[in-house]
Structures are given as structure tokens and as C-alpha cells.
Amino acid sequence: MKKAQEEVRKVVGRKSKVEENDVNQMNYLNCVIKETLRLHPPVPLLIPRQTTSSVKLKSFDIPLKTKVFINAWAIQKDPELWEDPEEFIPERFEKNQVDVRGLDFKLIPFGIGRRGCPGISFGLVSTEYVLANLLYWFDWKLHGQDACSIDMSEMCGLTSDCVLLSSDTGQFSKANCLPTDLAYCLSFPLAKLELAS
Ligand code: HEM
């Protein structure tokens, strides 16, 4: 958090707001987002596919019309593909330019191929911009908890659990939301936070 915040504040400097161009220079923040999407993909099994012909994949014969689930969550934690896969290490992306948009099959939080997410750019840009603003304007701390005691385990479900900050009450609440909603939810409180600061 500290490292990302230092980068954001260094890039933005003394300007009165974070500009879109600034975000392109925030390499570490970008690594943090990639690492978060690696460890906690919002759509862990992607959207189910169905084979349009029979396929031989390695030693498996997959018949026509088989429903196929792609376990992005498991791929992104595969110890054969990732060093210390369970650890949150954004630095792993500093030297290794793994693509997050579906070109590298070991990192596919937006899915792959023709049914891949059409909102990749919007999703990434919104996340970067919102996070940059939150880190630029605010110092964050945990209340009565240390970082290690936060429960980061996923729950079973079609959508991911996320924590929303109500801009009216300042209270945190838990909600189930799809990634499509997430970008919107994240950008909504920001408008008010910016005004308040
Ligand atoms: C960080 C944000 C987001 C993540 C991680 C994400 C992830 C995904 C994933 C994994 C899929 C399934 C792709 C596949 O099975 O290959 C998907 C599909 C989709 N996403 Fe996103 N998404 C995000 C943001 C958005 C946004 C902002 C929009 C629209 C503005 C959007 C619209 C869609 C749509 C319409 C589909 C269905 C595509 C289809 O079935 O052909 N997503 N998304």
C-alpha cells in the first residue's frame, strides 16, 4: 500500500487532481491490480463454453456439445506456472510483462477468445483511476485489526463478494456484485469523495 501510494503521489505531484495520463506512469499500481486479479479473479470459472465439434486435447477425447468450464482461478495459482502462487507479490510483474487481456493463458481474469470480456479497457482504466484517486487523496488504516488477520478467503458463488463504501453514510457494507457493476460502484463514491477532500 505504502509503495503504491508513494508512486501515485510522486507521479501526480502537486496537481489538484489525478489526470488520465498520470495513471499510465503508475507501473507499480498496475502490478498491484494484476496481482489482485491473479489471486482473486472476479469470475473464477469464466463463462461456460460448449464444444462445437469433438476434440482431442492431450489424452482426453472431448465429445461434441460438452459443457466446458475453464478454471481461471486454479490456472492463476498453478505452482507450475507461478512462483509462490499463494503469495501477494505485485513485484512479480515488474520484470515479467505478462499480459492480462487474454494473450497469456496463465493470466486470464478477463477470459479469452471471442467470448472474452468486451469491457477490459473500461474495467482496467476505471480500476486504475479510482485506486489512484483513493491512494492520492486518503491515508488508509485498519481499525483494530492487523493486516494478517483480514480474511481474504473467497466464498463460493457466481459473483464475488465486495465491500462497498457508502458515500452518504461513510459506512462499509458487503455486497454481491458482478464485475460489470464493480467499475460503476467504485466510480460512484469517488465523485463524492473528491468533492469532500
Ligand atoms: C475488472 C473488471 C472486469 C473483469 C475482471 C471482468 C471479467 C469478465 C470475465 C472473466 C468474463 C467472461 C469471459 C470469458 O468467459 O472468456 C466477462 C464477460 C463479460 N464482461 Fe467483463 N469484466 C470486467 C469488467 C467489465 C465491464 C466494465 C464491462 C462492461 C462495461 C464488462 C462486460 C462484460 C460482458 C458484456 C461480458 C459477456 C461477454 C460474452 O458473453 O460474450 N465487463 N467479464
Query: Does some domain include residue 148?
Result: no
Inter-residue contact 29 to 132 (CB < 8 Å): yes
Query: Does some domain include residue 47?
Result: yes
Q: Tell how far the Cα of 62 is from the centroid of ligand 1, in angstroms.
A: 26
Q: Which residues does ligand 1 sit against, CB inside 6 Å?
A: 42-43, 46-47, 109-112, 115-119, 122-123, 127, 179-180, 182-183
Closest residue to atom 10 of ligand 1, CA basis: 110
Query: Does some domain include residue 134?
Result: yes
What whole-number distance in Å separates Cα of residue 105 and Cα of residue 128? 22
pLDDT single digits (tens) 146-194: 777 777 777 776 655 555 554 455 555 555 444 444 444 343 333 333 3
pLDDT of the residue at 197: 32
Q: Residue with C-alpha cell 472431448? A: 62
pLDDT single digits (tens) 36-59: 999 999 999 999 999 999 999 999
Enclosing domain of residue 37: 2-142
Q: Residue 111 CA: which ligand 1 atom is closest?
A: 16
* DSSP per-residue codes, 126-160: HHHHHHHHHHHH-----SS--GGGS-----SSSSE
pTM metric for this prediction: 0.81
Q: Tell how far the Cα of 119 is from the centroid of ligand 1, in angstroms.
A: 6
Q: Tell how far the Cα of 43 is from the centroid of ligand 1, in angstroms.
A: 8
Instruction: Quote the number of domains for the chain.
Output: 1
CATH classification of the domain holding 60:
1.10.630.10
Query: Does some domain include residue 95?
Result: yes
Bridge partner residues of 1 (DSSP)? none
Query: Does some domain include residue 44?
Result: yes
Query: Does some domain include residue 73?
Result: yes
> Largest alpha-carbon pair distance within the chain?
61
Query: Does some domain include residue 197?
Result: no
Q: Tell how far the Cα of 163 is from the centroid of ligand 1, in angstroms.
A: 20
Query: Does some domain include residue 114?
Result: yes
Inter-residue contact 123 to 130 (CB < 8 Å): no
